[in-house]
């Protein structure tokens, strides 16, 4: 469904676009950057680059007014800026020439998203047979897909082998024999070993995966990774092509990635020394941090690319190894800043010193604040208010005290039922983690670009929910 908006017919012209993140030159002293907050409207610094201001404090994303989207498609709804997604894909390819850039589908996946990243030249990282089949049936080349997962099911492995997935990341020693037994006679499956390098990095304890105290990977410190390498090399139906690691999520400095490169190159050198094998690939995962609120740090992708490639070349030269083919796996950093969530205010309740603004969504469409304390910057859309900003807590409609979307944020003091709120940086881990709690139905995904809007994923209806319930 494609909708051409009437925004071009409006008499008022959009204001200057919001400032967009740009990579800063590598100075050798800092490896993070923050978005330019700008002098006109600092609140737009974390919105998609296409965001413009319209009369009555409306905003347009991709040339489409958000108030129009809310009226046409209802709320809650996710809005995804196609041009922002594509621009971020291209930015990674510029930062990592002669490398494989693999989009981490767990951040957000639908058929259109798979199509966009394929057109932009990226590969795809999937974590289940479902994600894999959706991508392949959309036309994504299976040889450009990597299968992850700490506990892949038999169906996951069978589907990957049947469809011809390019690489499978081995996450445990028990997986080695199961996978080898499933590979057809006369065939070989390319695999990577996921190594835990013992590096703590990430924005929250629940999203740090580079240390030994979590469920992913094989430890470098206790020898598990080395043991797994030996076992894989002994399996004639498995072809070990490289090492993989993923340090965590929301990492905003380059240093942890450089440490990981050094440790993994050290392991590559030991593999060469002990087994006479030179592994041709090195995958350093993703986890690249983005800003959710103005002024927060975001990872400088250009600096990351330059420094990682230099570190890899230097470490390999020191070890006497050829430089392996590098792979990176951004997910959130591509999808997150391209998305906006729209909500209607249902009620405003003042209890003691607190004001609670309840909206028509909540933890069923964004569980991230409840899971690991992510903080957002919601904004009143489509109504000009002269009231002074006041601290409020934006909460959801669900029967949980922890159903909080944005704690202690400032909105106009006269915020009221019926108002429209927009929440930027909503493109990653929203729909992909959405649930059926209270049977409210998951929101639609609306793509915007060039003044047009179209539905990518329709709203989940009560009929959809009832159709699955066959208990009577």
One domain, residues 300 and 402: no
One domain, residues 69 and 93: no
Q: Are 35 and 21 in contact (CB under 8 A)?
A: yes
Asked if the model's pLDDT at residue 236 lies above 70, the reply is yes
Tell whether 417 is covered by a domain.
yes
> Residue 153 has which token pair?
């099911």
One domain, residues 345 and 460: yes
Q: Which runs of E-coded beta strand occur in 259-396?
A: 281-283, 297-299, 325-328, 339-351, 354-359, 379-381, 389-395
Tell whether 412 is covered by a domain.
yes
**Structure confidence by residue, pLDDT tens digits, 296-338:** 999 999 999 999 999 999 999 999 999 999 999 999 999 999 9
Tell whether 226 is covered by a domain.
yes
Tell whether 471 is covered by a domain.
no
One domain, residues 355 and 370: yes
One domain, residues 139 and 111: yes
Domain that holds residue 262: 82-336
Q: Which runs of E-coded beta strand occur in 185-256?
A: 189-196, 218-219, 238-244
The pLDDT, as a whole number, for residue 39 is: 40
The pLDDT, as a whole number, for residue 151 is: 87
One domain, residues 345 and 313: no
The pLDDT, as a whole number, for residue 26 is: 34
Asked if the model's pLDDT at residue 356 lies above 50, the reply is yes
Domain with residue 90: its CATH number is: 3.20.20.10
One domain, residues 142 and 10: no
Mean of pLDDT values over 371-387: 93
One domain, residues 253 and 397: no
How many domains does the structure of the chain reveal?
2
Catalytic residues: 399
Asked if the model's pLDDT at residue 37 lies above 60, the reply is no
One domain, residues 207 and 282: yes
pLDDT > 90 in the chain, percent: 81
One domain, residues 206 and 315: yes
**Structure confidence by residue, pLDDT tens digits, 245-273:** 999 888 999 999 999 999 999 999 999 99
The pLDDT, as a whole number, for residue 14 is: 33
Provide the mean pLDDT of the chain. Answer: 89
**Structure confidence by residue, pLDDT tens digits, 120-131:** 999 999 999 999
Domain with residue 406: its CATH number is: 2.40.37.10
Tell whether 204 is covered by a domain.
yes
One domain, residues 202 and 346: no
Q: How many CA atoms lie within 13 A of 236 on its CB side?
A: 4
Q: What pTM did the predictor assign?
A: 0.88
Coil, strand, or helix at residue 296?
A: coil
Tell whether 472 is covered by a domain.
no
Tell whether 350 is covered by a domain.
yes
One domain, residues 270 and 352: no
Asked if the model's pLDDT at residue 45 lies above 70, the reply is yes
Q: DSSP labels for 218-229?
A: EESSSSHHHHHH
Tell whether 445 is covered by a domain.
yes
**Domain boundary, last residue among 336, 351, 376:** 336
The pLDDT, as a whole number, for residue 206 is: 46
């Amino acid at each position: 469904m494609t909708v051409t908006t009437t925004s071009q017919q409006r008499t008022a012209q959009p204001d200057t676009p919001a400032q967009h993140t740009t990579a800063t030159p590598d100075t050798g002293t800092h490896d993070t950057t923050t978005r330019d907050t700008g002098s006109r409207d600092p609140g737009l610094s974390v919105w998609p680059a296409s965001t413009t201001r319209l009369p009555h404090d409306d905003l347009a994303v991709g040339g489409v007014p958000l108030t129009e989207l809310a009226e046409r498609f209802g709320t809650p709804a996710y809005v995804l800026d196609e041009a922002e997604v594509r621009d971020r894909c291209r930015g990674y390819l510029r930062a990592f020439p002669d490398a494989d850039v693999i989009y981490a589908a767990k951040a957000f996946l639908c058929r259109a998203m798979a199509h966009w990243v394929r057109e932009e030249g990226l590969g795809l990282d999937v974590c289940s047979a479902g994600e894999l089949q959706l991508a392949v049936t959309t036309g994504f080349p299976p040889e450009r897909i990597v299968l992850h997962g700490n506990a892949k099911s038999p169906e996951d492995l069978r589907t990957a082998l049947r469809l011809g997935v390019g690489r499978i990341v081995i996450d445990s020693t028990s997986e080695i024999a199961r996978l080898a037994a499933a590979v057809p006679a006369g065939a070989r499956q390319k695999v990577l070993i996921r190594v835990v390098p013992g590096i703590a990095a990430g924005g929250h304890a629940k999203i740090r995966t580079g240390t030994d105290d979590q469920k992913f990977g094989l430890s470098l410190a206790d020898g598990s990774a080395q043991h797994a390498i030996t076992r894989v090399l002994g399996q004639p139906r498995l072809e070990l092509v490289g090492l993989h690691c993923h340090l965590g999520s929301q990492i905003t400095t380059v240093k942890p990635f450089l440490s990981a490169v050094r440790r993994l190159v050290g392991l590559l050198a030991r593999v060469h020394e002990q087994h006479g094998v030179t592994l041709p690939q090195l995958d350093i995962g993703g986890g690249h941090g983005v800003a959710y609120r103005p002024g927060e740090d975001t990872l400088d992708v250009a600096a990351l690319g330059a420094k990682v490639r230099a570190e890899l070349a230097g470490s390999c030269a020191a070890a006497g190894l050829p430089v392996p083919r590098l792979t990176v796996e951004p997910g959130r950093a591509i999808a997150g800043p391209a998305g906006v969530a729209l909500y209607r205010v249902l009620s405003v309740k003042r209890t003691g010193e607190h004001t609670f603004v309840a909206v028509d969504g909540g933890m069923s469409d964004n569980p991230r604040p409840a899971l690991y304390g992510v903080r957002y910057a919601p904004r009143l859309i489509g109504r000009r208010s002269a009231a002074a900003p006041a601290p409020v807590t934006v909460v959801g409609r669900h029967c949980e005290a922890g159903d909080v979307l944005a704690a202690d944020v400032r909105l106009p003091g006269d915020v009221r039922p019926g108002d429209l709120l927009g929440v930027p940086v909503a493109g990653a881990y929203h729909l992909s983690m959405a649930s059926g709690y209270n049977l409210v139905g998951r929101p639609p995904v609306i793509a915007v670009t060039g003044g047009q809007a179209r539905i990518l994923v329709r709203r989940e209806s009560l009929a959809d929910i009832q159709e699955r319930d066959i208990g009577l």
